[in-house]
Structure 1
Amino acid sequence: MPNRLATSTSPYLQQHRDNPVDWWEWGPEAFAEARRRDVPIFLSVGYAACHWCHVMAHESFEDEAVGGALDAGFVAIKVDREERPDVDAVYMQVTTAMTGHGGWPMTCLLTPEGEPFWAGTYLPRPQLMQLLRAVTDGWAQDPQRLREGGARIVAALEEAAAAAPTAGSAPPLVEDDLAAAVAQLAREYDHQWGGFGGAPKFPPSMVLAFLLRHHGRTGDPSALRIARDTCEAIARSGTYDQLDGGFARYAVDRAWVVPHFEKMLYDNALLLGVYADLARLDMGSRPWAERVVRETVDWLLKDLWTEQAAFASSLDADTDGVEGLTYVWTPDQLCQALGDEDGQRAAELLGVTPSGTFEHGTSTLQLRQDPQDPAWWRSVRERLQLHRTLRPQPGRDDKVVTAWNGLLIASLAHAGWVFEEPDWVDVAARCARFVLDTHVVDGRLRRSSRHGTVGAALGVAEDYGNLADGLLALHRATGDRAWLEEAGTLLASALDLFGQPDGTFSATGIDAERLVLTPRGEGDNAEPGGASSLALAVLRHGAQAADASHLDLAASALQAMAPIARQAPRFAGWALVAAEELAAGPLLVTLSPLPGSAEGPGAGADDRIGALDPLGTAARRGPTGVLVVDGDVALTSTGGVRTATVCRGTTCDLPTTAADALPSVPGG
């Protein structure tokens, strides 16, 4: 019989609807039940695409004995970290502090007041049962000891938070700091395989975006080299889907050969923007970088586009309970799909070996070098794609997350402008319209929806920042000021909800549920943090709307992020993106509509394709980080010739028709 999770808008929670566990969703009712029964809380946090979440579910949560132990001694709460990033952040902070590492599934034991006294990640069934028995006995014999332990943990973390640098206590980021960040990244760079650090290895999308902007502003060749070589290493590896396009979440090895196979919307949104910028900045990289962009857009539209005109969250790592089943191949399987001659040739090209590069003699597909016969490879790729569609397919988490759709709106609109693909811009606009129409309820942005039904969770800072940034990207790609106005309205609400007296941003709104600890969001991890996403959106809005107060506010917010940017730039990539754009001015290029096109917002996109447009071409080939508003009807053509204005911060030049007056890469 389904449990309480059956009515959830989270596919992850729905996966547990038939467990023999009396699961509760996070909420006051669950805590009231724990107080009524005077039992601790068993908190389990995960997400739908998580491989080890599935493993623990099959081993433990589908087991009658585990269910009986949980129901007898605990109130069991299941949380989708993607719906409740605030809850996830608080208890991940606890888990990391107590164990030295974090990850999912996350398991925490709490007092009925929410104070944690035990935390960990994946537990095999025997260890889980041992833990449940010990805690049940301990709570029955001396609950006060466990309560006091939870109170001490909370107090220690509060004390550590109070000792952290406050806004204004650190000097603001200056150009020397940005150069020092590049130097530190260069020291941590993996010169053999690209990226940073060892295994597991995550695509460093935000750091790559920073490096491209630093090169665009300074001409620093090392920044471009690190970004270019990392992008190529990933694009040719098993972490990139060589058949369908799209990136897996991370690799389990240094060489990017074997991915953890889930595909997340936020990773692909961020990387889409990086590869689009690399393609416009470095002509030597353009052929393969543009290929990656086009393949990834095709995959996004095929596998993550929903009936509601927005993008789903992820594809699972597992298929039928087997990790990577859809994606890996043996030489025999290639020959069965392609015939012996083409199969053997494809195996050599794609690194599919008799012993395998993954498990059980299977291999991921890698494209370490371009095929000598592109037409042959196109045919092979199409045949393998068709053959793969006949295999079982991974599950899809089809909830629509505001923040992640905001990232994709921004990247898709930008890529559509870079490659003159107006259909991509139109898709981004349709997605933005759905999120604005569905996720804003009584003026308050919500976190997510599913099948057109909006969830109850309130939007957090990253939802506001990323969505506003997507709307600003649409303004730039179309020239339509309606998107700029929508972004301004959203940011005005964000400042009321998240703005602090010292000029910083909180991770959750003033109307958010009070948790045992305040969620911290000063850094960037797998996706932009709330503070940096708002800082970047406020900065870009300040430039595009000529709002000097927003430029000042962005500078204040970035100052609060300066310590982590200096100490650990790998975990401040989005903040460094904003700092680079601020150091450049920010620079804003505004182009008048192309003469001969319909004079209206967003007009002329089709007409520009193939047209003689030196200003548009120069803008597209300009430095990464320069904001370009293309087709602003407020700017008129001069004598039938397209014109442009260039603004640096609050100072603008006179309109020009000369392409060489637009910003360019120093030394480029």
Structure 2
Amino acid sequence: MNRLQYEKSPYLQQHKSNPVDWYPWGTEAFEKAEAENKPLMVSIGYSTCHWCHVMEKESFENAEVAAVLNEKFVPVKVDREERPDVDAIYMSACQAMNGHGGWPLNVFITPDQKPFYAATYIPRNQMGSMPGIMDVLSQLSDIYRDDPERVAQVGDDISKALEPRAVETRQLNINNVHAAFRAFTQQFDSSYGGFGSAPKFPSPHIVMYLLHYYHQFESEGALYMATSTLDAMASGGIRDHIGGGFSRYATDEAWLVPHFEKMLYDNALLLMAYTEAYQLTGETRYKEVVEEIIEYVHRDLTHEQGAFFCGEDADSEGEEGKFYVWTPEEIEDVLGEERGEQFAIEYGIDPAGNFEGKSIPNRINRPTAGWSDAERREALQALYEHREKRVRPFRDEKILTSWNGWMIASMAKAGRVFQEEEWTEYAEQAYRFIETRLQDQNGRFKARWKDGDVQYDAYVDDYANMIWASTELYASTWKPEYIEKTAAWAETMIEYYYDQENGGFFLTASDGESLLFRPKEAFDGAAPSGNSVAAVQLMRLARLAGNMEFERTAEKTWEAFSASIEQVPTAFGHLMQGLVLFHGDRKEVVIRPAQDDEAFRVKTYIQRAFHPEVTSVVAEDGTDLSRAAPFVEDYPVQDGKTTIYVCRDFSCHAPVHSTESMKYLFGVKQGEQ
């Protein structure tokens, strides 16, 4: 076994028996490369990555390939989920060199960390225009030995091009919000939902931006794009109709054939999106999806002490999707002939199949079988129990602070919207796990927990997402401790990650490991960037804690990326939520409950209704928020009745004592939610 046997990362553990003499990222590898004058091959991936598995089987398990790698290179393996900083730097290099990127990511660098060649999947043998790995290794080794000046020049040029630099900033306004909407309209697939062509990623933050845009501007087009996309995904094979949850992306435009890996972050953000769609529409089909996601995550992705695992692989028994596909005969064996035929009609299970001769269950344009919801649930449960007898895909059981933050936020929100206390408790359990196991003695976050081993200094995403989690938990529980912790984490995030000179947040802390440069990620990819989440949450927290410095930092953050936002607004879907909020009709509400029925009614309404423009504080006795939000002491209970103070534009209306009066001040029309 190689050095990876001592690592906790499931991805690195998968490579511990390779004949390649892998090193983890660290000083030992770079010292060896320097001493022996060798380049490093840095191979970056993650444990549930299908093409990472393919490349391992083809090349890294091959003795001939391993011999060349071990002789002429220092091979380094990196788990991108544990080291997003290393991944961000070299993914940027790959995109700069090739115009695209992906995983596995294979970058060849000098001992001073400068990249001179980058590729994604490299086949064992030449495939069309793609060179085989032996040719790549031979040519790069020769170039490094024979032309070191060329290698150094390429490394210098790429490194300089990638370093963050100051750019002209400008204020953004409501026109930028509308420009983003127009751009998403142009990208919208009116036939199948979603944005752009295949492969299609769920991108729930874009859906949520459209829901917020609809709420603010009453744009039916925005609501249509959002709900059409959610409905298409819910009908497609990207949704696991048998066991719940969603796969990472669809390989086709109709959302039928997924890349079968299931990731925590996708399911967290989709949970949030379907919850908000329910808030706005009241459609029970969205609640059903929410229930399925939570059941899946609680059952299959939850540690015994409450935190959430990273995800599940696409492959089982060496085959992609084998765990998830069916034949008509298998369906009939489980359900019987009559019910089996009904199910096959409704879920698209036919002899020809839709994936390598078998069928992915889906409901894309499928007729209904005419059975009741109870009968359908019974059939799905029977198929689920049968499927559990199969060999399950590998589960990555490391716990990431940032991804847990997303799921905690989403679970907390779903718990209050649907008034499901158990879901809120799931969120609180995970929160307590992160708080007690992934903070050091100075109260600073760490990034990863695995089998009791805690590693890696936190990234800005860890702070931003846990701030989001804490804010949502406050709204779901009204416990003052969540505001206090959120404000403290925000201060730490600004101190160690904020770029005081140029605005925006670096991915790594100012006192962190020295890398080629400190990356500063702004674009929202499959999930929101740390900068986007930080900006949106700081703006919310400013009104919640009464600290407007947080809001000014949020403004400077999106201004730091203003040139890119104006150029490519669709790359900032989550940040656009913040701009919708910033330019909307924001209100602050202080609720002082009394011993009356109205206290319950007003708190329930605030928790269930969709009012992202409203920041609410509940002060039970006037002193419980004395540290977190001391301003509430100026808002007393009046006449022994539940008293509601609604403020906007830094001035407050006269206090009211009923939910209906509060809704009137919100601008809610009679009969509306």
Same fold by TM-score, threshold 0.5 exceeded? yes
The match for 1:237 is 236
The residue identity in structure 2 corresponding to 1:448 is R
Tell me if 1:617 matches 2:619: no
CA contact (8 A) 1:622 1:664 kept: no
How far apart, in 2, do the equivalents of 1:666 and 1:24 lie? 63
Equivalent of 1:353 in 337, 350, 353: 350
Deviations 1:592-622 (A, max 9, x none): 458469xxxxxxxxxx9xx972562365223
Secondary structure class of the residue paired with 1:119 = strand
CA contact (8 A) 2:327 2:359 kept: yes
Secondary structure class of the residue paired with 1:209 = helix
The residue identity in structure 2 corresponding to 1:334 is I
The residue identity in structure 2 corresponding to 1:191 is S
Tell me if 1:572 matches 2:572: yes
How far apart, in 1, do the equivalents of 2:447 and 2:143 lie? 38
How far apart, in 1, do the equivalents of 2:66 and 2:620 lie? 61
The match for 1:332 is 329
The residue identity in structure 1 corresponding to 2:246 is F
How far apart, in 1, do the equivalents of 2:265 and 2:393 lie? 18
Equivalent of 1:291 in 261, 283, 288: 288
Residue 577 (structure 1) shift: 1.4
CA contact (8 A) 1:241 1:248 kept: yes
How far apart, in 2, do the equivalents of 1:184 and 1:100 lie? 22
Higher mean alpha-carbon deviation, 426-435 vs 414-423, is at 426-435
Rate the CA distance shift 1:186–1:666 in 2: closer, same or farther, 3 A. Answer: farther
Deviations 1:433-468 (A, max 9, x none): 11111111132211111123211x111111110111
Residue 584 (structure 1) shift: 2.4
The residue identity in structure 2 corresponding to 1:194 is G
Higher mean alpha-carbon deviation, 217-226 vs 387-396, is at 217-226
Residue 340 (structure 1) shift: 1.2
The match for 1:137 is 142
How far apart, in 1, do the equivalents of 2:588 and 2:571 lie? 27
- 5 Å-filtered alignment, 1:55-134, equals 55-126=54-125, 127-134=132-139
Rate the CA distance shift 1:112–1:71 in 2: closer, same or farther, 3 A. Answer: same
How far apart, in 1, do the equivalents of 2:55 and 2:405 lie? 32
Tell me if 1:479 matches 2:478: yes
- 5 Å-filtered alignment, 1:31-70, equals 31-70=30-69
CA contact (8 A) 2:48 2:396 kept: yes
The match for 1:392 is 391
CA contact (8 A) 2:348 2:359 kept: no
The match for 2:198 is 199
Secondary structure class of the residue paired with 2:231 = helix
- 5 Å-filtered alignment, 1:401-440, equals 401-440=400-439
Residue 636 (structure 1) shift: 6.8
CA contact (8 A) 1:104 1:121 kept: yes
How far apart, in 2, do the equivalents of 1:595 and 1:343 lie? 56
The match for 2:224 is 225
Residue 139 (structure 1) shift: 2.6
CA contact (8 A) 1:477 1:630 kept: no
Rate the CA distance shift 1:145–1:619 in 2: closer, same or farther, 3 A. Answer: closer
| Higher-RCO chain (CA-CA 8 Å, sequence separation at least 6) | 1
Tell me if 1:260 matches 2:238: no
Residue 641 (structure 1) shift: 5.0
Secondary structure class of the residue paired with 2:457 = coil
The residue identity in structure 2 corresponding to 1:582 is F
Secondary structure class of the residue paired with 2:153 = helix
Residue 183 (structure 1) shift: 1.7
Deviations 1:107-145 (A, max 9, x none): 011111111111000011121111112222333333333
Moved over 6 A (4+): none
Equivalent of 1:343 in 340, 345, 356: 340
CA contact (8 A) 1:219 1:665 kept: no
Residue 408 (structure 1) shift: 0.8
The match for 1:558 is 558
Tell me if 1:314 matches 2:302: no
The match for 1:655 is 655
The match for 1:151 is 156
How far apart, in 1, do the equivalents of 2:10 and 2:649 lie? 45
CA contact (8 A) 2:589 2:615 kept: yes
CA contact (8 A) 2:238 2:257 kept: yes
How far apart, in 2, do the equivalents of 1:141 and 1:378 lie? 67
Work out the number of aligned pairs and report it: 646
How far apart, in 1, do the equivalents of 2:231 and 2:26 lie? 45
The match for 1:525 is 525
Residue 550 (structure 1) shift: 1.3
Taking every aligned residue pair, what percent have the same amino acid on both sides?
36
Residue 271 (structure 1) shift: 1.0
The residue identity in structure 2 corresponding to 1:142 is D
The residue identity in structure 2 corresponding to 1:500 is D
How far apart, in 2, do the equivalents of 1:87 and 1:595 lie? 55
The residue identity in structure 1 corresponding to 2:284 is P
The residue identity in structure 2 corresponding to 1:352 is I
The residue identity in structure 2 corresponding to 1:209 is M
CA contact (8 A) 2:596 2:641 kept: no
CA contact (8 A) 1:581 1:587 kept: no
Higher mean alpha-carbon deviation, 488-497 vs 136-145, is at 136-145
The residue identity in structure 1 corresponding to 2:12 is L
Residue 637 (structure 1) shift: 6.1
User: Unaligned regions of 5+ residues in structure 2, if any?
Assistant: 126-131, 623-634
Rate the CA distance shift 1:180–1:658 in 2: closer, same or farther, 3 A. Answer: farther
How far apart, in 2, do the equivalents of 1:279 and 1:564 lie? 33
The residue identity in structure 2 corresponding to 1:220 is S
Secondary structure class of the residue paired with 2:144 = helix
Residue 228 (structure 1) shift: 1.0
Residue 180 (structure 1) shift: 2.1
Secondary structure class of the residue paired with 1:572 = helix
Rate the CA distance shift 1:41–1:276 in 2: closer, same or farther, 3 A. Answer: same
User: Unaligned regions of 5+ residues in structure 1, if any?
Assistant: 598-607
- 5 Å-filtered alignment, 1:174-193, equals 174-193=173-192
The residue identity in structure 1 corresponding to 2:328 is P
Deviations 1:210-246 (A, max 9, x none): 1111111221211111111111111111111112211
Residue 624 (structure 1) shift: 4.2
Q: CA RMSD in A?
A: 2.2
Residue 188 (structure 1) shift: 1.2
Tell me if 1:165 matches 2:167: yes
Deviations 1:619-648 (A, max 9, x none): 522334534446755377666654433343
CA contact (8 A) 1:217 1:665 kept: no
Higher mean alpha-carbon deviation, 364-373 vs 100-109, is at 364-373
CA contact (8 A) 1:565 1:576 kept: no
Rate the CA distance shift 1:386–1:631 in 2: closer, same or farther, 3 A. Answer: farther
The match for 2:626 is none
How far apart, in 2, do the equivalents of 1:128 and 1:204 lie? 33
Rate the CA distance shift 1:397–1:152 in 2: closer, same or farther, 3 A. Answer: same
The match for 2:627 is none
How far apart, in 1, do the equivalents of 2:451 and 2:587 lie? 40
Deviations 1:296-319 (A, max 9, x none): 001010011012320001111111
How far apart, in 2, do the equivalents of 1:260 and 1:664 lie? 44
How far apart, in 1, do the equivalents of 2:596 and 2:669 lie? 33
How far apart, in 1, do the equivalents of 2:344 and 2:637 lie? 56
Residue 17 (structure 1) shift: 1.0
Secondary structure class of the residue paired with 1:613 = helix
How far apart, in 1, do the equivalents of 2:619 and 2:362 lie? 42
The match for 1:626 is 614
The match for 2:628 is none
How far apart, in 1, do the equivalents of 2:436 and 2:603 lie? 35
CA contact (8 A) 1:644 1:657 kept: yes
TM-score by length of 2: 0.92
TM-score by length of 1: 0.92
How far apart, in 2, do the equivalents of 1:297 and 1:371 lie? 26
How far apart, in 2, do the equivalents of 1:560 and 1:536 lie? 14
Higher mean alpha-carbon deviation, 291-300 vs 565-574, is at 565-574
How far apart, in 2, do the equivalents of 1:569 and 1:488 lie? 29
Equivalent of 2:362 in 365, 385, 403: 365
Rate the CA distance shift 1:439–1:258 in 2: closer, same or farther, 3 A. Answer: same
